[in-house]
Structure 1
Amino acid sequence: MAMFTMDGVRKTFSSGEVKEEILKGINLSLREGEITALVGVSGSGKSTLLTIAAGLQPASGGQIIFEGNNMITMSPEQVRKIRASKFGFVFQFAHLVPFLTVEEQLILMLDVSGSKVKKKEQKIEIDKILKLVGMEHRKNAYPSSLSGGEKQRVAIARAIIHKPKVLFADEPTASLDSRRSKDIMILIRDLTRTLNITTLMVTHDEEMLSYADQIVKMSDGFVMKSD
């Protein structure tokens, strides 16, 4: 079932009288419980498409349908609320708050997302998520004591603690070695299926494509191929 649909999505940047069309009418459907990987050379438009889909920058035209509503016609405040409550984000670097413990990172995310989990139940939910990502034994640790792989696991836990509908992952394994990259992709794949999340991922690493359910190849602002 398609949870998230893009129809004719365009993006144009202007510099003085010069206009450059980065996305040229993208059509793409993302399904629940599946990972869609965006691939292509640098400048192909894949990162621009991900940030637009995630509501981090506006499109110039087209439709982005999420839960039956067109995000492109929403106000910035409406998009912000969806982004906070319904979306999760994992980036190349974990971007953890240095002075918060692992547990406190997740508490902050619950608060920011407007989660309805009651304060007295938060630690129960956090323990469940940390167990899912294999980090329950490190919940009182600070980021400075974590390895790169551990930081990324915490970043993933933070991204899903509020039970998002869509997970956006931008080069989630780029800063890791091959072994840790595979571990993180297995984790993202398993969480996507177990929690029935819709995942959109940008990657340059062809080895990571084996974990995707749909591979979308982009070139010069077009979708060239979908496997």
Structure 2
Amino acid sequence: MTVKNADRDAIVHGKITEKPLRQRPSFPTWAIKLTMAVTGLIFGLYVLVHMVGNLKLYMPAHDGVPALDEYGTFLRSLGTPIFPGETVLWIFRIVLLVSLVLHVYGAFALTARGRQSRGKFRRTNLVGGLGALSARTMLISGLILLLFIIFHILDMTLGVAPAASEAFEHGAVHANMIASFSRWPVAIFYILANLVLFLHLSHGIWLAVSDLGITGRRWRQILLVVAYLVPAIVVIGNIVMPLSVAVGWVS
């Protein structure tokens, strides 16, 4: 242990030390937590908007063009003619990529600092329930979601086999989604990944509420509901799509 007024004999015999338990970090813990809160909320907003946009899978085609393809064209042409081509879309992608890197770094940094501070001691007698499960598995669920993001990009954006189907065609968003989700292993993987997303996102939003300094009782009660409601809406919407395609309800 570290003390201010140390017994000289105790120091000599190695009982206690005046040295800090760990060196002062380059980035303070509060800054990393704040960064993770902000980047986590960015991802939360993104998956909500992404889910709403993908639900155009169920809208009728317009002049023979699927609604989902029109939505894809809208995203690629966003900001034109002020900005050329896919400029705005790439700005969004860069923001998401930077947020992802910062979020992953923060997760590993905070985990390492927590283990170093606790030493050989571990937290015990934690309250059970869904919240405790989410808290215990945040790093694991985060890694699963990272793998899912990579697979999703290879499948739906880049069209890289074997993640993507053989029928992948750039720009044909509707057809690509149907072809991908028609493969049962892929549909099941998407469904399971979204269940993991619910655990990670619900606990992540609640942590962000605390890390952003929201302490009012009423606001915390409201945001606790939001922390479970928004992820539930996102996950239900994301699960319905691969399931409905896999069973043949949408083609």
Q: Does TM, normalized by the shorter one, top 0.5?
A: no
Larger Rg: 2
The structure richer in helix per residue is: 2
TM-score by length of 2: 0.26
